Amino acid sequence: MEPFKSLTAVACPLPFANIDTDQIVPARFMSTPRSAGYGGFLFHDRRRGADGQPTGAFPLDKPERASAKIIVAKRNFGCGSSREAAVYALMDFGIRCAIAPSFGEIFGGNSLSNGLLNARVSERDADVLLAELEAGLLDLRVDLDAQSITGGKAPIPFEIDPAAKLRLINGWDDVQMTLSFKDQITAFQKRDAVERPWVKPV
Amino acid sequence: MIAPRTLFDKLWDAHVIVAQEHGDTLLWVDRHFVHEGSHHAFAKIGARGMPVARPDLTFGVADHYVPTRGRAGTAAIPDATVRGMVEKLEANTKRHGVRLFGLDDPAQGIVHVVGPERGLTLPGTLVVCGDSHTATHGALGAYSFGIGASEVAHVLATQTIWQRKPKNMRIRVDGRLAPGLTAKDMILAVIAEIGTDGAVGHAVEYAGAAVRALSIEGRLTLCNMSIEAGARTGMVAPDETTIAYLRGRPSVVSGAAFDRAAAEWLALAGDDGAQFDKDVSLDADKIAPTVTWGTSPEHALPVTAAVPDPAGIADVAKAAHVADAIAYMGLKAGQAISSIPIDRVFIGSCTNSRIEDLRAAAAVLAGRKAKVPGLVSPGSSQIKVQAEQEGLDRIFTAAGLEWAASGCSMCVGMNGDLVASGERCASTTNRNFKGRQGEGARTHLMSPAMVAAAAVAGTIADVRPMLEGRM
Ligand code: SF4
């Protein structure tokens, strides 16, 4: 996984709460292999009108936001279905950082697995950022080490779990990380087989 | 003395392999369910040349894409994409020596129905699946949660998972549900109360007299929708109802070994004085038949209420959200919910497709005709057989509904069972998101009995009068 240190890029406001992963990528695209690319599925149905053509009204379709690598949304971003395809769609579109007051938890885990930074800001700060972006602000700088977002009128701090921060900054792969605890895993299995014999399926 | 622990604390502690200082904890996984959607994860371990670490603890279930009509083996699935997804699961499980509950297996069904039904899900176990409704299994006192594809690959490769410990939350429902009301009404009322992010960061334990009074089927419905309140997991402490449900199931130990296990399971209940970070309580006596009117599970109201008016909502963003939902759903502010005409009904999904659900719907439909078309898809092939033995299928078909095979079906529409754009569906499923049952589809969530009532009335309707003399 690519380490994430800092990022300066165009940010796009998505001034909606409870954006679920069904909206981020509709279920019917999920049989596609990842190698085919998921970027074109991002917010597929929200970006299109009844005739199936993009309306151009969705924030990501504004020409000045086309190269966005950062999105800012309201609370509970990525709630709902566990589909990691939602993260694939964001990443394949070019998004590397999502800023919101709260995130769906499975989405958070999926983001971490793929190196997509979820930056938690206060509800007030999210509203400030959204207002500035909607008023024309383009670029934001996100510094993971300092946990700060700059580019607007005032720097905005963000929160992230310390373990997630470590993994992102170092680009650690979780399977590698786990295999370094091989002995502990073996010991657990031995002990557990004695302590909980009923776990073994008959 | 050890501090008193909650049920969840005990489940967590029993699975810790490594606890790192910054909170990341490596947990042992007892049961891992995979389905057609797990193809990304199999591709990931394939790319690393890694085997499945514990095929004996991994179970495949064909449910998300399987056809529910005209089923005649995988090769006969007409849609190439759908067929490809089922074939991929068959090939991946075969290659790695994983037991598959495949298309033609008599034990096939929806993953969250099959796990408990086979006795694979046990109290005290840690259960994961690449599906957000995995919390369903918590009904048996398991610690169960949904994971993403990379995590599925990690579990396949190591039988472990990294987690941070969620906080403890208790949702108490005391009192008694009125006749005709179900766990579905209860959980919709809970979500309406706390919101779709009301339980984010928390492991929820459902407690209280009304929860205790639920059957395991009802508890499965309750825990199923925990994710719709943002919870990491939902669970009910094991009790005699749990033990009675598990005794004699195919994958569970028997005889003296079962009795020993049962004693351990009962001891999992939270200790007196255990602390919760968040406590919510509801009165079951105040819960009415509940339905959703909008595009989020928190848009739930008693059937006797009216569609909200955004003009009456002070919070501008919230008012806009409500207005947007009303527009998508094709409704009017202030419209009585019980007058909303529907186009079709769906009874099925891991929320409400168990035998008790089918019986409840049949109790309303017996001797009546549905005014709209609809589909009934039992949660497992075994439930299908049982329902047919009880004659429930004939009640559904006599009413004019279609009786189909088991799968996720119209809950998510991946197999082609879709609600047409602009159509309004009364559904026993768990998500009324925009486009969930198909592009442009409008979904109203409710209990199986309420869906049956809607079918008979042709509009959303209060089931209570229709049950008079029938319960
Ligand atoms: S029935 Fe619906 S919610 Fe349940 S596992 Fe299938 S798709 Fe998911």
pLDDT, one tens digit per residue, over B148-204 is: 999 999 999 999 999 999 999 999 999 999 999 999 999 999 999 999 999 999 999
Q: Is the CB of B430 under 6 A from ligand 1?
A: yes
Pairing type for strands B344-347 and B424-427 reads parallel
Determine how β-strand B31-34 pairs with β-strand B167-174: unpaired
> B25-28 and B160-163 as β-strands: parallel, antiparallel, unpaired?
antiparallel
> Touching check for A135 and chain B: CB below 8 Å?
no
pLDDT-derived band at B34 (thresholds 50, 70, 90) equals very high
CATH of the domain spanning B340-467: 3.30.499.10
Q: How far is the CA of B111 from the centre of ligand 1 (A)?
A: 8
Structure tokens at A84: 């990691």
> The domain at B167-286 falls in which architecture?
3-Layer(aba) Sandwich (3.40)
Which tokens sit at B152? Answer: 């599925």
Which residues on chain A are in Cβ contact (under 8 Å) with B40? 34, 84-85
Order across the sheet with B374-376: list the strands: B402-403, B374-376, B344-347, B424-427, B442-445
- Residues of chain A found within 8 Å of residue B145, distances taken between Cβ atoms: 106
| Average predicted confidence (pLDDT) for chain B | 96
Closest CA to B458 of B363, B340, B303, B332: B340
Between 3.50.50.60, 3.40.1190.20, 3.40.50.300, 3.20.19.10, what CATH number should domain A6-171 receive? 3.20.19.10
Given pLDDT bands bounded at 50, 70 and 90, which one contains residue A33?
A: confident
Sequence ranges of the domains in chain B: 7-164, 167-286, 340-467
- How far does the centroid of ligand 1 lie from the alpha carbon of residue A51, in Å? 29
pLDDT tens column, B299-311: 999 999 999 999 9
- B449 Cβ contact list (under 8 Å, min separation 6): B180, B182, B289, B360, B361, B363, B364, B463, B467
Output the pLDDT for position B469: 87
A81 to chain B, any CB pair closer than 8 A? The answer is yes
pLDDT at B1 over 70: no
Among the four given CATH numbers 3.30.960.10, 3.40.50.10260, 3.40.50.620, 3.30.499.10, the one describing domain B7-164:
3.30.499.10
Q: What is the pLDDT of residue A52?
A: 82
- The yes-or-no verdict on residue B2 having pLDDT over 80 is no
Burial B251-284 (b: 16+ CB within 10 A, else e): bbbeeeebeebbeebbebbbeeebebeeebebeb
Percentage of chain B with pLDDT > 70?
100
Q: How far is the C-alpha of B66 from the C-alpha of A127, rounded, in Å?
A: 44
Q: Cβ–Cβ of A109/B196 closer than 8 Å?
A: no
Q: Do domains B167-286 and B340-467 have the same CATH topology?
A: no
Asked whether the predicted pLDDT for residue B336 surpasses 70, the reply is: yes
Please give the Cα distance from B270 to B66 (Å, whole number). 40
User: Distance between CA A21 and CA B264 in Å, rounded?
Assistant: 39
Instruction: State the average pLDDT over residues B48-72.
Output: 96
A34, burial (CB in 10 Å: exposed 0-12, middle 13-18, buried 19+): middle
**Cβ contacts (< 8 Å) between B30 and chain A: which residues?**
199
Nearest CA in chain A to B145: A106
Residues B121 and B125: their CA atoms lie apart, in Å, by 7
Q: Are A171 and A3 in contact (CB under 8 A)?
A: yes
